Structure 1
Amino acid sequence: LFTLLGTSLVAAAGATLNEWLERDLDGKMRRTADRPLPAGRISPDEALIGGAGMAGLGLGTLYFGVHAPAAFLAAATLALYLFVYTPMKRWTSFNTFVGAIPGAIPPLIGFSAGRGRIEFEGWALFSILFLWQIPHFMAIAWRYREDYRRAGFRMLPCFDESGRVTGLVSVLYCVVLLPVSLTPVYFEAAGWFYGAGAILLGLGYTFFAALFAYAPSMPSARNLFLSSILYLPFLLILLVSDFR
């Protein structure tokens, strides 16, 4: 319970403080212009105080209610997200690959809290989440590349008019994700019920990435995005149901 509460508070703090840092840029993007800060529904001071308060409560909950390593991992996630990934979006198109690191750390918090240490299964989930995020965010960035350009964010699709590079990167990460998603089976942490499902889901994800790479367009990017948001929850459901 403390792990869930603390991690949720830190995640909410990260989202709030990210919006505080990017409030002026969010106002330039149609996709984000209606967020509470750029839309003026809450003030910057309210967002800063609320975000900092949630961060303190979340980290304190993990430190005192779980243990110090869980709090450290959550603090590292927050720091990487706010002070590395967020400013990098204005500097380099490699920001997505860096941002995928804090996006993949939460399973390590869970394993650290549950077992007192980070074991193989935690690193396997970290790797799966890291790889999954790249095609997911490439699809989003392609669909909203004009918005990102307007705000000055240096996303890869902003420099890839044809979409070929964006598509190839998506396919590459989907292809690598396939064998990585089977690591719980290789090390007998899950059975072949999970393994068969992971293969089918991975092939489907790769198929939509390949369609996007072959013919980059709004519909193919949307289909890749939809396949990504179906892939992850179903994969995790299979893993939980067949975990050993």
Structure 2
Amino acid sequence: MKTAIGMAKDKTFALIFADFKEITKVRLAVSVVFSSIAGYFLGAYEISLTSILLLGFGGYCMVGASNAFNQIIEKDLDALMKRTRNRPIPSGRMSVSTAMFIAISLTVLGVVTLYFLNPKTAMFGAISIFLYTSVYTPLKTKTPLSVFVGAFPGAIPFMLGWVAATNEFGIEPGTLFMIQFFWQFPHFWALGWMLHDDYKSGGFKMLPTGKKDSGTALQIIMYTIWMMVISILPAFGITGRLTLSIPAAIIILLMGGVMLFFAFRLYAQRDTISARKLMLASVSYITLMQIIYVVDKYI
């Protein structure tokens, strides 16, 4: 009997933990934390394990809070789409009050934790939550410009790490912000292209022209080019302490070229397969680019 009860409790805990991971979007949150820690390594004069742990925990809390608030606001729309109807709230596995408790708790924990690093880090973290939940989320059903607005909180993590390490905001974290800002357009428009019909079911306007057409594909190409240009700016010695060697810049430029290739392919073929390849290339790009920046600094 005890064994059966123990197994039941373990199963219940596993289900609760699975829903917690889903409402905080654990994979997205971890990728954001990775960006923040990369920014920290770029800005730090000396590496502090305590600071990294605070940044990682506080960053996860902030992203998790944003995602939880987002799913509370969009619960009725999530129920209309195949990819989201099984989320904790629309499926009925989690109540709105429970989700709200999680979101508020994570917000408080995140702000307080980041404040221990420095006030600027906590401020930018709080701004990110506000923009994501109060501006970006409501705009998603109103205008395609929501992606532009959402790119602001989405670009904060990379620069947040630098601010956490230095307690300063200048051209260096500003450059990191711009890199991730422009990267988001080809990434999210490729995703929006893939999921266009599902997004349409929920009333979301994610593509710049509202259609899977040449206009959208052309804008993806233009923003990819801007991303490539800004990503190698530190190689020209105009971004303060944020520097990049010529070999590293060439590698990053080549990786951007891969994204640009898939962007042109999407323009030519205008199909879901091309959009998916671009989306996957963009995920690889942002991760590898951040790794190259960090490795280039320390070798």
What TM-score do you get using the length of structure 1 for normalisation?
Answer: 0.95
Unaligned runs of 5+ in 2: 1-52
Aligned to 1:105: 156
Which of these residues, 199, 209, 215, is aligned with residue 269 of structure 2?
A: 215
* Superposition map of 1:123-138 within 5 A: 123-138=174-189
* Superposition map of 1:106-121 within 5 A: 106-121=157-172
Aligned to 2:221: 171
**8 Å contact from structure 1 (residues 174, 205) kept in 2:** yes
C-alpha distance in 1 between matches for 2:160 and 2:286: 18
The 3-state SS of whatever aligns with 1:221 is helix
**8 Å contact from structure 1 (residues 174, 202) kept in 2:** yes
Which of these residues, 68, 76, 98, is aligned with residue 24 of structure 1?
A: 76
C-alpha distance in 2 between matches for 1:9 and 1:183: 32
Aligned to 2:230: 180
Aligned to 2:90: 38
**8 Å contact from structure 1 (residues 148, 158) kept in 2:** no
The 3-state SS of whatever aligns with 2:297 is coil
The 3-state SS of whatever aligns with 1:205 is helix
Cα RMSD (Å): 1.4
Q: Displacement of 1:157 after TM fit? A: 6.3
C-alpha distance in 2 between matches for 1:96 and 1:214: 23
Aligned to 1:66: 117
C-alpha distance in 2 between matches for 1:178 and 1:77: 24
Aligned to 2:198: 147
**8 Å contact from structure 1 (residues 16, 51) kept in 2:** yes
The 3-state SS of whatever aligns with 1:105 is helix
Q: Displacement of 1:91 after TM fit? A: 1.0
Aligned to 1:90: 141
The 3-state SS of whatever aligns with 1:39 is coil
The 3-state SS of whatever aligns with 1:159 is coil
C-alpha distance in 2 between matches for 1:68 and 1:178: 32
Which of these residues, 76, 81, 100, is aligned with residue 48 of structure 1?
A: 100
C-alpha distance in 1 between matches for 2:100 and 2:125: 19
C-alpha distance in 1 between matches for 2:274 and 2:91: 31
**8 Å contact from structure 2 (residues 209, 216) kept in 1:** no
CA-to-aligned-CA distance 1:79-102 (integer Å, 9 cap, x gap): 000000000001111111110110
* Matched pairs, number: 242
Aligned to 2:288: 234
Larger Rg: 2
Q: Give aligned-pair identity as a percent.
A: 34
C-alpha distance in 2 between matches for 1:82 and 1:49: 15
C-alpha distance in 2 between matches for 1:155 and 1:176: 20
Unaligned runs of 5+ in 1: none
**Residues 1:78 and 2:125 are matched in the alignment:** no
Q: Displacement of 1:24 after TM fit? A: 0.8
